[in-house]
Amino acid sequence: KIDRYLVSGIAQDTYQQATMRAIRLLADQVHADLVAEGVDNDEDLKTLRTMNIWAAGGLTPDLTLLFDLPVATGLRRRQRDAAGQNRLDRETKRFHENVRSGFLQLARKEPRRIKQVNAARSPDRIADNVRMLVLEWLEKHRPQTGRKR
């Protein structure tokens, strides 16, 4: 988890940007996940997105599915799996609300790429929704056959 202190104002602070790059490199080396807390404005979000593109070698998924549900529901589900708990499960509700808010903000900014799935529904309904979204995406991006050269 990257503290709000390192994220807030990152767009204008080259020291914070360099620190974030170093943290990202270190996390990659030890195969750790990163979560940035407290992205408060569009400029900081844009800077973090640019840094993520750099860290991922310029790769961005063509389709991202955001499985969204209320934080309280997600935390209850995770508590049922005590053996599978991890460090993120021990974070505060506020932390999870901030993370969810950040993902929803990304989805609003990139609606053509990021599709929301209502994960509060039954597994069968979620699977149907995912199937529909993927099939729609494949249909729109199917290679054209019979094109003249």
Q: For 113-132, how does the pLDDT look when each residue is reduced to its tens digit (9 = 90+)?
A: 899 999 999 999 999 999 99
- Locate 49 and state its tokens: 């997105």
Distance in angstroms between the alpha carbons of the first and the last residue of the chain: 51
pLDDT 10s digits, 36-81 = 655 555 666 666 666 665 555 666 778 889 999 999 999 998 888 7
CA distance 109 to 112: 9
Whole-model pTM? 0.62
Q: Half-sphere exposure of residue 73, counting CA atoms within 13 Å on the CB side?
A: 10
List 65's β-bridge partners, or say none: 115
> What residues contact residue 139 under an 8 Å CB cut-off, 6+ apart?
none
